[in-house]
C-alpha cells in the first residue's frame, strides 16, 4: 500500500498551493469588492445603487438576459436534439460552429456586428433607409450577448442526450406518440437538470458579458449601459465606492449562480448514485422474479 499514494508532505504542499491560489485570485478580490463598496459607509453604497443610471443599467441587463437566455435555450435544445439523436451531413461542422463563440474573442464578436450593422457596415445603408438602429442601441447588445452565450445550453445538453441514446424516444414513437409529444414527455424531462444547469451558466454569462457588449453599446448612460459597462464608467470617473457598489451586484449574481449550480450538481449526483445502487441490486436480486 505504501506506494499507492504520494508522501504526506507532497499532498499537503499541493493542497496548500491550490488553496493559496484560490485565496489570492478568487476570495481576496471578492472581499476587496465588498470592502471597497462599503468603505464610505452603507449610505453611499445604497445611494449609488439607487442612482437612476444604475437602476437603468440593472434594467437593461435584466432585459438583455431575458431575451438572449430564452433564445439560447431554444437554440441549444434544437441543436443538441439534432446532434445527439440524428446523424446528418455537416454534423461535425455544426458542432464546431457551436464552439465558435468560445474560440473567438468577445471583442471580435462585437466588431463583427459593428461591421455588419454599423452605419459604415455591410447592411448599414439598408438599415438606415428603414430607420432601424442596431449598433449603439439595445438590439446590438442583445445580438452580441446572444452570440457570446450560445454555446452554454447546447454544450451542456449534447453529452447528456448522447449518453441517453434514442431508445426511449423510439419506444415513445412506437407507442404512437408524435414527435412533439415525445419531446415534451420523454426527452425534456430526461434532460431537465442539465438544461437548468446550462440556463444558469448562460444567464450568468449574459449578465456579466463585457467585451462584446462594450463594442456595440456606445456607452450611452441610462440608455445602452449594462451593469458591467456601468462599473467601468464609474471606475474611470474615480467614483470608486459607487463602482464597487455596483460591482457587488454582479458578485452576488455570481455567488447565487455558484450556489444553484452546486445544488443541481448535488441533485444529479444523487440521482446517479441511486441508479448505480439499483444496478447493483439487479445483480443480486434477480431471484425475486
Closest to other proteins by CB, 39 vs 278, is 278
Give residues 156-195 in contact with other proteins (rule: CB under 8 A). Answer: 167-168, 170-178, 181, 185-186, 189-190
163 membership: H or E segment, kind and range: helix 151-164
Q: Which is nearer to other proteins, 69 or 196 (CB)?
A: 196
Whichever of 158 and 172 has its CB closer to other proteins, that residue is 172
Smallest separation (angstroms) from other proteins to the CB of 269: 15
Please say which residue, 131 or 282, places its beta carbon nearer to other proteins: 282
* Long-range Cβ contact pairs of 41-46 (< 8 A, separation 24 or more): 44/241, 44/242, 44/245, 45/241, 45/245, 45/248
> Any idea of the CA torsion for 82, 84, 89, 90, to the nearest 10 degrees?
80
- Shortest Å distance, C-beta 188 to other proteins: 10
| Joined grid coordinates for residue 90 | 455537416
**102 touches other proteins (CB under 8 A):** no
Q: Which stretch binds other proteins (CB under 8 A): 47-55, 64-72, 150-158, 274-282?
A: 274-282
- 52-85 vs 91-103: helix axis angle to the nearest 10? 160
Question: In angstroms, rounded to a whole number, what is the distance separating the alpha carbons of residues 161 and 179?
Answer: 16
101-109, 123-131, 207-215, 279-287 -> range binding other proteins (CB under 8 A)? 279-287
* Closest by CA position to 81, among listed 147, 180, 178, 200: 180
Instruction: Encode burial over 62-78: b for 16+ CB neighbours within 10 A, e otherwise.
Output: eebbebbbebbbebbbe
- Smallest gap from Cβ 76 to other proteins, in A, equals 20
Between 1 and 288, CB nearer to other proteins: 288
Shortest separation between residue 201's beta carbon and other proteins, angstroms: 23
Least distance to other proteins from the beta carbon of 123, Å?
41
Residues 188-247 binding other proteins (CB under 8 A) are 189-190
- DSSP-derived 3-state class of residue 221: coil
In whole angstroms, how close is the CB of 288 to other proteins at the nearest point?
Answer: 6
Task: Give the list of residues 6+ apart from residue 72 with CB closer than 8 angstroms, or none.
Answer: 146, 149, 150, 152, 153, 154, 202
Binder of other proteins out of 26, 78, 275, 280 (CB under 8 A): 275
Q: Cβ of residue 177: shortest distance to other proteins, in angstroms?
A: 4
Query: Of all helices (H) and strands (E), which one includes residue 32?
Result: helix 28-37
Please identify, among the stretches 66-74, 106-114, 253-261, 277-285, the one whose residues bind other proteins according to the rule CB under 8 A: 277-285
Nearest Cα residue to 63 out of 229, 207, 196, 199: 207
Instruction: Kindly state the number of chain residues that form the binding site for other proteins, as judged by CB under 8 A.
Output: 26
Interface positions with other proteins (CB under 8 A): 167-168, 170-178, 181, 185-186, 189-190, 274-275, 278, 281-282, 285-289
Amino acid at each position: 500500500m505504501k506506494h499507492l499514494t504520494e508522501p504526506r508532505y507532497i499532498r499537503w504542499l499541493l493542497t496548500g498551493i491550490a488553496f493559496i491560489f484560490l485565496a489570492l485570485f478568487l476570495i481576496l478580490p471578492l472581499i476587496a469588492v465588498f470592502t471597497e463598496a462599503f468603505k464610505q459607509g452603507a449610505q453611499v453604497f445604497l445611494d449609488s445603487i439607487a442612482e437612476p443610471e444604475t437602476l437603468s443599467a440593472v434594467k437593461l441587463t435584466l432585459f438583455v438576459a431575458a431575451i438572449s437566455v430564452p433564445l439560447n435555450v431554444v437554440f441549444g435544445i434544437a441543436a443538441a436534439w439534432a446532434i445527439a439523436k440524428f446523424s446528418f451531413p455537416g454534423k461535425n461542422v455544426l458542432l464546431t460552429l457551436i464552439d465558435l463563440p468560445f474560440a473567438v474573442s468577445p471583442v471580435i464578436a462585437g466588431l463583427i456586428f459593428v461591421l455588419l450593422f454599423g452605419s459604415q457596415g455591410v447592411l448599414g445603408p439598408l438599415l438606415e433607409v428603414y430607420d432601424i438602429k442596431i449598433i449603439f442601441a439595445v438590439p446590438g447588445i442583445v445580438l452580441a450577448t446572444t452570440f457570446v452565450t450560445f454555446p452554454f445550453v447546447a454544450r451542456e445538453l449534447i453529452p447528456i442526450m448522447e449518453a441517453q441514446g434514442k431508445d426511449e424516444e423510439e419506444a415513445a414513437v412506437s407507442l404512437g406518440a408524435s414527435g412533439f409529444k415525445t419531446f415534451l414527455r420523454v426527452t425534456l424531462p430526461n434532460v431537465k437538470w442539465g438544461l437548468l444547469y446550462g440556463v444558469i451558466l448562460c444567464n450568468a454569462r449574459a449578465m456579466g458579458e463585457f467585451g462584446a457588449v462594450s463594442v456595440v453599446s456606445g456607452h450611452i448612460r441610462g440608455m445602452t449601459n449594462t451593469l458591467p459597462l456601468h462599473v467601468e464608467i464609474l471606475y474611470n470617473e474615480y467614483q470608486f465606492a459607487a463602482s464597487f457598489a455596483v460591482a457587488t451586484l454582479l458578485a452576488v449574481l455570481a455567488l447565487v449562480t455558484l450556489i444553484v449550480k452546486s445544488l443541481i450538481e448535488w441533485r444529479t449526483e444523487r440521482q446517479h448514485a441511486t441508479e448505480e445502487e439499483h444496478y447493483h441490486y439487479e445483480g443480486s436480486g434477480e431471484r425475486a422474479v
